[in-house]
Amino acid sequence: MAETRVIHGFHAVTARIRQHADSVLELYVDTQRRDPRVRDLLKLAESNNVRVVPVDTKRLDGMAGNARHQGVAARVDAAQKVRHLDDVLDTLTEPALLLVLDGVQDPHNLGACLRSADAFGIHAVIAPKDRAVGLNATVEKVACGAAETVPYITVTNLARTLRELQERDIWVVGADSEAKTDLYGFRHTGALAWVLGAEGEGLRRLTQETCDQLVRIPMLGNVESLNVSVSAGVCLFESRRQRMG
């Protein structure tokens, strides 16, 4: 029997049906919801031959671990398509723009990072298999569908993966608050991989040493650092702005 997991929330469920309808085994909808948003979702499910199961709120609460599910959830095939980094890089028609997350463990941060990655046209998000949150229902809900559109690649050895990127002439840049170069002075429109560290800890020593360059985000106020997902959005926006310019 296939391994399954539950996702919840309108954005996550709708995106999964649109992107990978064949992986949605059942759609669960709160019997108390009859609004237009639910009707649109039911039409989408019907057009994609997704089985709909009416359930009560209490059951949905249990399926979602008492998280805010908005009255919808889905049981999906947990098996992910095998995504190798080479499969992504070999099909690009423009210089690579990647986001590497060194041990992000908060699912809300990972979801927000995926959302920014989707917004700014990032080709893939890379993270280690260990000491990282991985994709789960909370990540998919926060990502608002981006978990289905942005390739999320897990690797066993992050430092080795960074070196492999460098062998492909991809400039590896770490975000570090102590770096001499700031984001405004950083200019690079070629193939690029941004590397951001975990919440509170920043980049691990080996990761930092493997980077080609370190760049800091200028801080003009009293706050010393930014949330990792906010930092990701700032860095990715600047890279996309430079390319468009």
224 Cβ contact partners less than 8 Å away, ≥ 6 residues apart: 177
| Distance (Å, whole) CA 52 – CA 236 | 38
Rounded to the nearest 10 degrees, the angle between the axes of helix 228-244 and helix 107-119 is 10
Q: Phi and psi of 61, rounded to 5°?
A: -55, -45
pLDDT of residue 82: 44
Residues of the binding site for S-adenosyl-L-methionine = 197, 217, 226
| Distance (Å, whole) CA 130 – CA 156 | 7
The tens digit of pLDDT for each residue in 81-108 reads 546 788 788 788 899 999 999 989 999 9
| Distance (Å, whole) CA 100 – CA 105 | 13
Token pair recorded at residue 67: 């998280």
The tens digit of pLDDT for each residue in 149-162 reads 899 999 999 999 99
Contact present, 237 and 118 (Cβ < 8 Å): no
Return the closest-CA partner of residue 161 out of 89, 233, 235, 75.
Answer: 89
Return the closest-CA partner of residue 38 out of 24, 52, 20, 26.
Answer: 52
- pTM, two decimals, is 0.76
What is the full per-residue pLDDT of the chain (245 aa) written as tens digits? 567 888 888 888 888 898 788 889 999 999 999 899 999 999 999 999 999 999 999 999 898 887 788 999 999 887 655 467 887 887 888 999 999 999 899 999 999 999 999 999 999 999 998 888 888 888 988 988 888 889 999 999 999 999 999 999 999 999 999 999 999 999 988 999 999 998 778 899 999 999 999 999 998 888 777 899 999 999 999 999 999 87
Within 10 A of 30 (CB to CB), how many other CB atoms are there? 20
| Distance (Å, whole) CA 233 – CA 20 | 26
Residues of the binding site = 197, 217, 226
User: Residue 104 in 3-state DSSP?
Assistant: coil
**DSSP string covering 60-79:** HHHHTTTS--TTEEEEEE-P
